[in-house]
Amino acid sequence: MMVKNIFCFVCALALYVPVLAFSSSSAVNEVPAQRQERGFFEKLEALKNKAVAETQDLKQLGTPRIVSKGRKPEIIIKDEFIYFNGKKLFMGASLQAWKNGLAGSPRCSKDGIVICVWEEYGLQLGTGEGKDPKVKFINIYLSFVDEDGKDLGRENYPGGKAALPTDDWQVHEAFPGYLELDGYGIDANSKFWEIKAGTKNKRELRCGIKDCATPRGAFGDRGELQFRLNGSRETSTIRKFSVSLTGEE
Whether residues 109 and 165 share a domain: the answer is: yes
Whether residues 169 and 194 share a domain: the answer is: yes
pLDDT for residue 53: 55
Please check whether residue 66 lies inside any domain of the structure: no
Would you say 215 and 229 are in contact if contact means Cβ atoms under 8 Å apart? yes
Whether residues 169 and 232 share a domain: the answer is: yes
Helix, strand, or coil (residue 15):
helix
Whether residues 105 and 42 share a domain: the answer is: no
Question: How far apart are the C-alpha atoms of 72 and 128, rounded to whole Å?
Answer: 29
Question: How far apart are the C-alpha atoms of 178 and 76, rounded to whole Å?
Answer: 8
pLDDT for residue 132: 74
Total residue count of the chain as it appears in this document: 249
Whether residues 120 and 26 share a domain: the answer is: no
Please check whether residue 197 lies inside any domain of the structure: yes
Closest residue by Cα to residue 154 from 162, 146, 166:
162
pLDDT for residue 218: 94
Digit-by-digit pLDDT tens for the chain (249 residues) are 433 443 444 344 444 444 334 444 444 455 666 666 667 777 666 656 655 555 555 566 788 989 999 999 999 999 899 999 999 999 999 999 999 999 998 989 887 789 999 999 999 999 987 777 899 999 999 988 766 666 665 544 555 555 545 567 888 889 999 999 999 999 999 999 999 998 877 799 999 999 999 999 999 888 999 999 998 999 999 999 999 998 655
Domain tally, the chain = 2
Strands (DSSP E) contained in 14-92 are 74-78, 81-84, 87-89
Whether residues 40 and 95 share a domain: the answer is: no
pLDDT for residue 171: 86
pLDDT for residue 200: 76
Would you say 89 and 81 are in contact if contact means Cβ atoms under 8 Å apart? yes
pTM score, two decimals? 0.72
Q: Which domain range does residue 102 map to? A: 74-245
Whether residues 102 and 186 share a domain: the answer is: yes
Whether residues 167 and 241 share a domain: the answer is: yes
pLDDT for residue 173: 87
Q: What is residue 159's DSSP assignment?
A: G
- Give the residues across from 192 on adjacent strands: none
Pairing mode of beta strands 87-89, 238-245: unpaired
Please check whether residue 69 lies inside any domain of the structure: no
Closest residue by Cα to residue 241 from 138, 88, 153, 161:
138
Whether residues 89 and 49 share a domain: the answer is: no
Whether residues 91 and 57 share a domain: the answer is: no
